[in-house]
Structure 1
């Protein structure tokens, strides 16, 4: 038997596994690296976060990714070269973290690599006549290069199996949220405020699990960050929401932004910066005659847009005045302007971050992929939700051996 297969067989039977989860989101700020110890699998999973770091991307790395990020037309040669280059870069970043943590590669069982999303094309969004009804997504950062560069068995390319199973490739948070964060004491809304905002609804444990589901709600931080960079090139983002807090929401621009059919589409749904990018804002500004609107007011309006997107999706499911406990994660969990807007839009909800549940908000997505790798190796496909909102029961992740 191939020794790597023999190792996987042993790992599947162990009571616990040590897994590194990786996440690089659409904000392109860096690579999240979470060293996790996972005990058991399925509903009995228990996770310990041993170490966590965000390794910042230098400007040159962000520049290279933006050459292909959310663009319909790119150099095929450049895209081909970027895939292994990113995989090798991520391997180097993992090795640096392990050295800093004084952990050897031989002490880690698996790497779970999300890769870098560069294009997301759900069927409702691309409308390509040659591929009607086909969902697609593309993540770069080749898993073989991660495996060889670290010497650790690597699982990658998780989203493809979700699509093959009938999903849209996103959001995948439902799996981790359901297995780790369900509670017998309260129903919960797990709100991820990354580049795109999404949430997972979790009924109380013991209630009808078919009501659990996950959906994107609209733009999160990507459009805010892009607008800041356009007007203030020296800034990567609006730190602490200071610029947005200094502005006023322009109702005319907000109305045009919300006129996009995405916001009225049925749940669940997915989207990306391909739709909610600078062109989307520019078109809404032209229609609302706000092309000369100041940066602060524009950011205040975009922040309100993110909050309204979340609130509209919540109302579609839970009625006019949802009264849920909302646990936030992602970069937007640190943005006071966005948090204030969410409280205005959902006044009956109680807000906290996932830290109240024992999960660092910044580490949550990297943890998720460690959990997905654990399920692929040691668990069984999990069925969540029902009907249109059913999350495909699939084991996700392609396996790359280090040699």
Structure 2
């Protein structure tokens, strides 16, 4: 039987670029389904970064820009796929599917007051454009299916977390620190019905925005947490941040730029303009740590549950300030990074969507209701193919004909 190849694409809330992985399905079903055989990250240039930031802000977004960027990102994602294939010395005809998360520009996980204000979410990067650009079938638009059955459409990577870390008898919190922080709690007995997953609050989003603003765009993030280590925590600012209403919401809960985006950061910096640059960066970094620990205390470490390990992934796994402070605040729990397990922090989410996309094609459920708050398991994702050959390759996965 010939191999199955897929590509996973992820562009997260941090807007630090597009992560792409080429994966190969293992024929041995006793092992984890896929292994990464090539990867790359393509950063957004300043113009596109600023344009996406603008359309993520409800106070600034214009519908014509959203529509245009949807088509542009379909092409941009296609260009990234071609670069990945060239790097891997593969042809489009070798690839059975692409699975793309898309770029989230709005996420509203609770219903509004008006009758049409249902839970909603929007990821752009048109699937048909991406399929036409590459000649490969594309799976995407995952989150809406979960919302259709009452879920919050997030966190979805909990599905991969469970597959990876539920088998060796340890109570674990798998913590992603991307633009937003989100955690998957996996009980020591591996009971999937007891899995919990939620957004702990801002991850790198506010830190990056403050660094970008204070350095006039010269820096886009605090490399290794070096700036944060130079300052001191301002308790007045930290108390103000922890008073945010998000931290009072019960589970299930998720968030994004609609709460903690550019408008939030601008207001914060204006209100506390008297605080030194280093101290403000230290304080918003400490906020990420404190909000993570509070999330564990409020929703995981209850009824006598003790965490054996916290496993950090995402860009925050490279921030030594965050890692050190988490370990100091959780002295009886071992803080590790996902790289310790042979999985790249940079490409874990792209891998997750490759796995979920494969399940979509197979017609198998690919989310955890206990994590998202959904009423029942569903098959997330839609499939687009603009060419017959792309259709035939993706359908060969279902038929078993390679």
TM-score for the superposition, normalised by structure 2: 0.89
Does residue 222 (structure 1) correspond to residue 205 (structure 2)? The answer is yes
Mean CA deviation greater in 181-190 or 332-341? 181-190
Q: Which runs of 5+ in 1 are unaligned?
A: 1-13
Asked if 1:123 is matched to 2:102, the reply is no
Query: What is the 5 A alignment of 1:174-253?
Result: 174-204=158-188, 206-232=189-215, 233-253=217-237
User: What is the match of residue 33 of structure 1?
Assistant: 20
- Summarize the Cα distance change of 1:342–1:168 in structure 2 as closer, same or farther, 3 Å threshold: same
User: C-alpha displacement at 1:135, in angstroms?
Assistant: 1.4
**DSSP-derived class of the 2:288 partner:** helix
State the Cα distance separating 1:290 from its structure 2 match: 3.0
- The reply on whether 1:310 has 2:310 as its aligned counterpart is no
Choose which of 270, 279, 282 in structure 2 pairs with 1:297.
279
Give 5+ residue unaligned stretches, structure 2: 388-402
> Any idea what SS the aligned residue of 1:362 has?
coil
Which residue in 2 is equivalent to 1:7?
none
Partner of 1:365: 349
- 1:226/1:220 Cα in 2 relative to 1: closer, same or farther (>3 Å)? same
Structure 2 residue aligned with 1:10: none
Residues 59-85 of structure 1 deviation map (CA, whole Å, 9 limit, x = unaligned): 222122123023244221121111111
Task: Mark the CA change 1:91 to 1:284 in structure 2 (over 3 Å): closer, same or farther.
Answer: closer
Q: Conserved in 2, the CA contact under 8 Å of 1:42 and 1:379?
A: no
Q: CA deviation at 1:158?
A: 0.9
Q: Pairwise mapping of residues 390-401 of structure 1 onto structure 2 (< 5 A)? A: 392-401=376-385
**Aligned position for 2:136:** 152
Aligned counterparts of 2:89 and 2:168: Cα–Cα separation in 1:
38
Q: Does the Cα contact within 8 Å between 1:37 and 1:48 map onto a contact in 2?
A: yes
Q: Secondary structure at the match of 1:113?
A: strand
| SS of aligned partner of 1:318 | coil
What is the deviation of 1:129?
3.3
Alignment of 1:134-149 (within 5 A): 134-149=118-133
After superposition, the Cα gap between the structure-2 partners of 1:119 and 1:53, relative to the gap in structure 1 and judged at 3 Å, is: same
SS in 1 for 2:356: helix
CA contact (8 A) 1:147 1:401 kept: yes
Structure 2 vs 1, CA of residues 41 and 370 (structure 1 numbering), >3 Å: closer, same or farther? Answer: farther
SS at 1:367 equivalent: helix
CA distance in 1, matches of 2:210, 2:85: 36
2:71 alignment partner, one of 60, 84, 101? 84
The change in CA–CA distance for 1:118 and 1:401 in structure 2 (over 3 A counts) is same
2:6 match: secondary structure = strand
Task: Tell whether the 8 Å contact from 1:383 to 1:390 is kept in structure 2 after alignment.
Answer: no
Q: CA deviation at 1:93?
A: 1.3
Q: Is the 8 A contact 2:155 2:372 kept in 1?
A: no
- Pair 1:42–1:74, CA change in 2 (3 A): farther
RMSD: 2.4
Distance 1:274 1:106, change over 3 A: same
Q: Is the 8 A contact 2:147 2:374 kept in 1?
A: no
State yes or no: 1:60 paired with 2:47.
Answer: yes
The answer to which of 37-46 and 241-250 deviates more is 37-46
Q: 1:387 & 1:324 partners in 2: Cα distance?
A: 20
- Residues 325 and 20 (structure 1 numbering): CA distance in 2 closer, same or farther, change over 3 Å? same
Whether the 8 Å contact between 1:200 and 1:214 is mirrored in structure 2 is yes
Cα distance in structure 2, aligned partners of 1:291 and 1:175: 42
Cα deviation digits, residues 141-170 of structure 1 (max 9, x gap): 001011110111100111111111221111
Q: Which stretch shows the higher mean deviation, 98-107 or 58-67?
A: 58-67
Mark the CA change 1:256 to 1:208 in structure 2 (over 3 Å): closer, same or farther.
same
Determine if contact 2:167/2:190 at 8 Å carries over to the other structure.
no
1:129 alignment partner, SS class: coil
Residue 75 (structure 1) aligned with residue 68 (structure 2): no
Paired residues, what number? 384
Match of 1:402 in 2: 386
